[in-house]
Amino acid sequence: MEFGFTFSNTLAAILTIGIISFLWRDNPLYKLCEALFVGVSAGYWFVSLYYQNLLPQLFDKLGLTLIITPHADVKEGALQVLFKQGRFDERILYIFAGILGIMMLMRLFPNLGWVSRWPLAFIVGTTSGLYFTTYFQSNAMAQLKSTIIPLNSINNIVIVVGTVCGLIYFYFSKEHKGVLGGAAKVGTWFLMVTFGASFGYTVMSRMSLLIGRIDFIFSTWLGLVK
């Protein structure tokens, strides 16, 4: 970004004001910004995914980049290793990823749409396998460990009681009545304090985001604030 009343800054400032104007009411400038934002951001991710995922992860690894542009400044891929050196390179397995990706695109043909369930099933499998272990390890085990503490101070008692009652709130198998109901009630109090406190805690940083935009308008663009 540059300083002053330049074309670039004016463009950025108009877009900034356009988005903020939505707070007053929906209006043509906001509609313009919104439509532009959707198009530009979709394009941004489209280009980024190509250069940051598809190209290095698939084309470079397989060696397709070198086949298409022989003088490109990239290392040899699995295909070159296989055909020039006659050696098996495990990167050749990435060809399956390419196949799965193309199967995904079969969605575009109504009769072949079902093929796209394979890559989808692959993603769901990866996700559930990954989450199954990592979440248990980092959320359940680690949090459990740090909650087992000596009950020798008010602070520690607050932590243990709060965690226990909070967990009881999430207990689904019994109606929350009697002792269980009482504990679950205390659990909701803790949850409410948690939500209130984390809300209050973030207010400040949200303000600073807006300060950044206002500063852009008044000092970078208009030069009114030194």
Interactions with another protein, residue window 49-68 (CB under 8 A): 49-51, 53-55, 57-58
Q: Does 161 bind another protein (CB under 8 A)?
A: yes
Rounded to an integer, what is the distance from CA 183 to the centroid of its chain? 35
Q: Does 111 bind another protein (CB under 8 A)?
A: no
How near is the Cβ of 179 to another protein at its closest, in Å? 13
How near is the Cβ of 71 to another protein at its closest, in Å? 13
Is residue 61 within 8 A of residue 77, CB to CB? The reply is: yes
| Binds another protein (CB under 8 A): choice among 75, 136, 182, 222 | 136
Q: Does 29 bind another protein (CB under 8 A)?
A: no
Q: Does 141 bind another protein (CB under 8 A)?
A: yes
How near is the Cβ of 87 to another protein at its closest, in Å? 17
Tokens of 66: 């070198």
Q: Does 88 bind another protein (CB under 8 A)?
A: no
Nearest CA to 179 out of 165, 193, 194 is that of 165
Distance CA 193, CA 199 (A): 10
Q: Does 16 bind another protein (CB under 8 A)?
A: yes
Is residue 98 within 8 A of residue 58, CB to CB? The reply is: yes
CA 198-199-200 angle, to 5 degrees, is: 90
The residue (of 82 and 100) whose beta carbon lies closer to another protein is: 100
Q: Does 45 bind another protein (CB under 8 A)?
A: yes
Nearest CA to 161 out of 190, 140, 197, 139 is that of 190
Q: Does 70 bind another protein (CB under 8 A)?
A: no
> What does DSSP assign to residue 221?
I
The residue (of 83 and 189) whose beta carbon lies closer to another protein is: 189
Distance CA 116, CA 104 (A): 4
Q: Does 20 bind another protein (CB under 8 A)?
A: yes
Q: Does 222 bind another protein (CB under 8 A)?
A: no
| Binds another protein (CB under 8 A): choice among 32, 67, 112, 222 | 32
| Binds another protein (CB under 8 A): choice among 29, 81, 92, 159 | 159
Distance CA 114, CA 225 (A): 60
What is the size of the binding site for another protein (CB under 8 A)? Answer: 147
Distance of CA 166 to CAs 85, 162, 186, 193, 196, Å? 62, 6, 8, 11, 15
Binding residues for another protein restricted to 188-217, rule: CB under 8 A: 188-216
